[in-house]
Amino acid sequence: MTASPASSPAVSTDSSHALHSPVIAWFDEHARDLPWRRPEAGPWGVMVSEFMLQQTPVSRVLPVYEQWLARWPRPADLAAEAPGEAVRAWGRLGYPRRALRLHGAAVAITDRHGGDVPREHGQLLALPGIGEYTAAAVASFAYGQRHAVLDTNVRRVLARTATGVEYPPNATTAAERRLARALLPEDEGTAARWAAASMELGALVCTAKSPDCARCPVAGLCAWRLAGKPPHEGPPRRGQTYAGTDRQVRGKLLAVLREAVGAVPQSVLDTVWDEPVQRARALDGLVSDGLVEPLDGGFYRLPQTLPQPDPHARTQPRAQTPGHPQV
DNA sequence: GACGCGTGGCC
DNA sequence: TGGCCAAGCGT
């Protein structure tokens, strides 16, 4: 840690920090009524929403979330499907590997947790597609536990209010985790409320481009605002390029396969992109990611077969009965 | 720690 | 218009 003013914020471990009450009160008044926040969503609904919300705006998640929960109301329902169905139902949310991982998580939950989304942070973290943030979010939002839930919204809110800078670092730092833990209310229920409230504040008021300080409940004690809103210093955030990349080609290929009822011949996939080397590389990538299944005769489809047996399964899969090839 | 990974809306 | 941004994860 370097000796920057940002590295030694004046915060105590006091359980009632000055930020808590105003932000939680603001949340009680202004929180959006989102389906995964309703009691009937349950842990599975919370978990599905968290997967979908990874890098994807709420407005685009809403309709797909409703379809998923109606079709697969429990983890076991999704686990019983072919992974390709999850990819298809993912639609155009983007980053379709999330669909595969969510399917894998449903299988793991069914195999090792009796079909119930686990409560423990460590068990959540062990599921495919669940990292530090999502494990904390599910434990906090679904089970009311006390965890530092450090997403891009909370990181920005803390950067501004507590640290006094416009933007957090590019990657989450140990200093940010320490700060978030120090600011966590002692009481479990209050901590869970704080997690949701601080995230919502970042999403609705303390936004990246144009923070609406006039509507901010903690504008009066925001370190960044009190310092005169100094502009961001340091390395610019790495912009994500897209046009002309493999990602764009993968997207086009997968769009064709999602819309197709059955298998698609190579000749049709060849029409989505002119450059053959990049096209082949993109298709290979999709196959090695398990998003696309190659068939004999140059046909491709969304994956119908389970990629790998679960290495964490508590019970061995009934010894590969010989003479029963997977279809 | 830096990359690769989709998609669409917004100013 | 096009860069920026949106509740990250895995390698």
Q: Which domains does chain A have, with CATH numbers?
A: 19-31+149-226 (1.10.1670.10), 35-141 (1.10.340.30), 246-301 (1.10.10)
* Protein-proximal positions, strand B, CB < 7 A: 1-8
Residue A278: which residues within 8 A CB-CB, separation 6 or more? Answer: A246, A249
Higher pLDDT, A242 or A292: A292
pLDDT digits (tens, 9 = 90+) for A250-284: 999 999 999 998 999 999 999 999 999 999 999 99
pLDDT exceeds 70 at position A92:
yes
pLDDT exceeds 50 at position A317:
no
Residue type, A125: L
pLDDT digits (tens, 9 = 90+) for A35-52: 999 999 999 999 999 999
Closest to A39 in 3D by CA, of A153, A143, A183: A143
pLDDT category at A315 given cuts 50, 70, 90 is very low
As a whole number, mean pLDDT of residues A186-210 equals 97
pLDDT exceeds 90 at position A218:
yes
pLDDT digits (tens, 9 = 90+) for A4-33: 444 444 444 445 689 999 999 999 999 999
Cβ contact A92 with chain B strand, < 7 A? yes
Q: How distant is C1' of C7 from CA of A315, in Å?
A: 34
As a whole number, mean pLDDT of residues A170-174 equals 94
Higher pLDDT, A66 or A244: A66
As a whole number, mean pLDDT of residues A144-150 equals 98
Q: Which pLDDT belongs to residue A254?
A: 98
| Strand-strand pairing, A264-265 and A293-295 | unpaired
Q: Which pLDDT belongs to residue A15?
A: 55
Q: Which pLDDT belongs to residue A307?
A: 56
Residue nearest to nucleotide B1 (CA to C1'): A171
Residue type, A292: V
d(C-alpha A128, C-alpha A91), whole Å: 20
Cβ contact A56 with chain C strand, < 7 A? yes
pLDDT category at A134 given cuts 50, 70, 90 is very high
Q: Which pLDDT belongs to residue A322?
A: 33
Residue A304: which residues within 8 A CB-CB, separation 6 or more? Answer: A82, A83, A84, A293, A327
Burial-class residue A146 by CB neighbours within 10 Å (0-12, 13-18, 19+): buried
Closest to A17 in 3D by CA, of A141, A181, A145: A181
Q: Which nt has its C1' nearest the CA of A153? A: C7
Higher pLDDT, A134 or A305: A134
Mean pLDDT score across all residues of chain A: 90
Residue among A40, A50, A188, A233 flagged as catalytic: A50
pLDDT exceeds 50 at position A325:
no
Residue nearest to nucleotide B6 (CA to C1'): A94
Q: How distant is C1' of B4 from CA of A109, in Å?
A: 28
Cβ contact A57 with chain B strand, < 7 A? yes
Q: Which pLDDT belongs to residue A127?
A: 98
Q: Which pLDDT belongs to residue A237?
A: 75
* Protein-proximal positions, strand C, CB < 7 A: 3-10
